[in-house]
Chains A and B, each alone.
Chain A
Amino acid sequence: MDSSITLSALSALADGMLVALAPANLLYAFLGCLLGTAVGVLPGVGPAVTLALLLPVTAKLEPTGAMIMFAGVYYGAMYGGSTTAILLNTPGESGSIVTSLEGNRMARAGRAGPALATAAIGSFVAGLLATAIVALLAPWVVEAALLFGPAEYFALLSLAFVTVTVTLGQNRLKGAAALLAGIATGLVGIDGQTGQPRLALGIPELFDGIEVTLIAMGLFAIGETLYAAAHEEADESILSTGRVAMSADDWRRSWPAWLRGTAIGFPFGCIPAGGVEIPTFLSYAVEKRLSSNPESFGHGAIEGVAGPEAANNAGVTAALVPMLALGLPVSATAAMMLAGFQQYGLQPGPLLFTTQPELVWGLIASLLVGNIVLLALNLPLVGLWVRLLTIPKRWLYAGIVVFAMLGTYGMRQSAFDLWLLLGAGLVGYGMRRADWPLAPAVIGLILGPLAEGQLRRALTISQGNWSGLTSSPISAVLLGVALCVALWPFFASGVRLLSSPRH
């Protein structure tokens, strides 16, 4: 085992700490946490929407400061989301569904304070541990990724496409449709290799392609607003928080759940198996199973908030390993983070660690700082966040619409983009209505052009011979796994057919 990689990671992290603790960057981290929590706490606004809406805010900063602020937004949005899930029973994203399950019950029983506290401290513990593991693990992944050529990258991207399709959303056909629609959108514009415009209809505004952030704001923010307007729901009452303090018993029950949640969430976040839905539910099931009084679950069991919240945060943090080291976003939030990098013309991947070490390690270190800032910010200020929940819906959503338009227009001062935003919003509404997952569309939009480029490069190397794609063991295995995952339902039903007559 080569310990020099770990050692150099530690020294790089120490350098990163110096970057993160520079006064200006500390201020950006603080601002990011504040804005992220404020927007993330708004009902109907999940972390992905928060990131999409706040991308333009960071557009004019220098990259390191912007990414640090973005890391704060990332975490702040998560904290804000769980606050909403607990107090309002409206989880902003799939990762918070489980939190609202027990957390809202606790709040109804007058124990909102301990629920918020265990969520915040659990996220803090998980975030801290997960960031440390990211710092130690990422260099190894980078090391492996440096061996990747175009064929291996194409195989990895194919695997990501398959797993994203299978795991995000309930129905793999709908996931595939969303993914392919995203890839098709990514094809619009001038082809990088031949200079030919594709799918652009001769419209000059489309020659540069369609911005990922624009599509994300349309699908998430405008789509959500349209859905909320058309599907009027009774207002959930906001529950009061009470004292944000945990009793000795709460602590005793919470801390093992935090650690178990972290252990469950991290591996799921690393692999391209999409999002935090599975680990949060898994953590909930584990806590229920290990609990000495499982009958308290469903009536406000604190472990049921502590475990899933930790799993959620660990998973979200772990998603940074494939995102930073391979340029592979595995969830909608990670995809928005990647869009943030692309805003500066930076392409995450193994090379970024050597070309921009200050940025990468400053970002990782600022995750640690951001966690501490958040804990200090959230528990005392929870009363302020709760007041944000009382903003009337009509102003809240009208504000979201205007903010999305501002962000879209601000990117390149083009009124044409606002029409695209409206179009993406209507598509987002249709997808919500038909229960299509949104994340594969955004991931396809980001990864589609990469996959095409790698495929064409790989085939150029093999002189147009398709067997070149499977000539290396790594790419053959990756493609094989992708094929197995894609065809699994057929295998499963085949096995069932074969085995059933015997019983």
Chain B
Amino acid sequence: MSRLPALAMPIALAAGGAFVLVQASTIAAAGGYSNIGPAFFPTLIGGLLLALAPLLAWGAWQDRAGTAAEQTTPPARVQLDKLAWIAAGVTLGALAIERAGYVVAMSAAFLLAAQAFPSQRAGLTALRNDALVSILFSVTTWFAFTLGLGLRLPAGWLNRLPGA
């Protein structure tokens, strides 16, 4: 197995640290009486993040080599493709909530996210049940939060329904 997944987090951390450092250098430093301005803390944190990344990478590399050597049973299967269903659900929700409205966007998000998990029923029956539950869930939360708690949520396409 590739060692890249183990190094993903240290690499992300280094990238984040570099980003913070670069951004900090663009902040006009006016220290005032304290001698430390708005750029001080970002520079410090960015530097620490960047310094920590190679240490973590080293540790992750060691762990990886260690577990690979002593592992007798195959590691649990990781299905990264399942993540796509949930990411797609949130993405669609983010894109649609202000156009199509809360109920439509969240029903779609629910339906997509549910596909990331296995079902005991056959494909089409499962999909029909998911669709029913997703609509029920978003309609219930819509009423509970708008009428019950006074939260403002976009109605979207529901405004075009006859009688609405």
In whole angstroms, what is the CA distance A194 to B30 when docked?
8
Least CB separation from A462: chain B residue:
B34
Q: Is the CB of B118 within 8 A of A405?
A: no
Is there an interface contact between A399 and B13, defined as CB atoms closer than 8 Å?
no
Q: With an 8 A cutoff between CB atoms, is B8 at the interface?
A: yes
Task: Report the minimal beta-carbon distance from A189 to chain B, rounded to whole angstroms.
Answer: 11
Contact B33 A422 (CB under 8 A): no
Choice from B78, B95, B98, B141 contacting A231 with Cβ under 8 Å: B78
Nearest A residue to B32 via CB reads A460
B158 at the interface (CB under 8 A from A): no
Confirm or deny: B12 has a beta carbon within 8 angstroms of a beta carbon on chain A.
Answer: yes
Q: How large is the interface on B (under 10, 10 to 19, 20 to 34, 35 or more residues)?
A: 35 or more
Instruction: Report yes or no: B41 in contact with A229, Cβ–Cβ below 8 A.
Output: no
- Interface residue? B86 (CB, 8 A): yes
Query: Is A472's CB within 8 Å of the partner chain B?
Result: no
Verify if A415 is at the interface (C-beta below 8 Å from B): yes
State whether B117 touches A464 (Cβ < 8 A). Answer: no
Partner of A402, one of B6, B41, B77, B109: B109
A405 contact from B83, B85, B90, Cβ within 8 A: B90
Q: Is the CB of A460 within 8 A of B34?
A: yes
- Give the contacts of A446-468 with B (CB-CB under 8 A): 448, 452, 455-457, 459-460, 463-464
**A443 CA to B120 CA, complexed, in Å:** 40
> Is the Cβ of A229 less than 8 Å from the Cβ of B116?
yes
- Check if A51 is an interface residue, CB within 8 A of chain B: no
> Which residues between 237 and 253 of chain A lie within 8 Å of chain B, taking CB atoms?
none
- Classify the secondary structure of B's interface with A: helix
A187 to chain B, nearest CB (A): 5
Q: Which residues of A contact B61 (CB under 8 A)?
A: none
A402→B137 contact, CB < 8 A:
yes
* Cβ B137 vs Cβ A193 within 8 A: no
B91 within 8 A of A: yes
A415-B52 in contact (CB<8A): no
Distance of A209 from chain B, by nearest CB (Å): 14
Could you tell me which residues of chain A, from 143 to 200, have a CB within 8 Å of some CB in chain B?
171, 173-174, 176-177, 180-181, 183-184, 187, 191, 193-194, 196, 198-199
Interface-side segment among A54-62, A96-104, A108-116, A287-295: A54-62
A301 vs B27: C-alpha distance when bound (angstroms): 60
Contact yes or no, A198 B90, CB < 8 A: no
Roughly how many angstroms separate A477 CA and B41 CA in the complex, as a whole number?
Answer: 23
Contact between chains at A430 and B93 (CB < 8 Å): no
> Of the 9-residue stretches A270-278, A304-312, A389-397, which lies at the interface with chain B?
A389-397
Given contacts A233-B76, A425-B90, 20 further A-B contacts (CB under 8 A): A60-B149, A173-B55, A177-B9, A184-B17, A194-B30, A196-B28, A222-B90, A229-B79, A395-B114, A398-B109, A401-B113, A402-B93, A402-B106, A403-B141, A405-B106, A405-B109, A418-B93, A425-B86, A459-B34, A464-B31
Q: Can you offer 7 A-B residue contacts whose CB atoms are under 8 A?
A: A173-B55, A177-B49, A181-B16, A199-B20, A397-B117, A401-B90, A463-B35
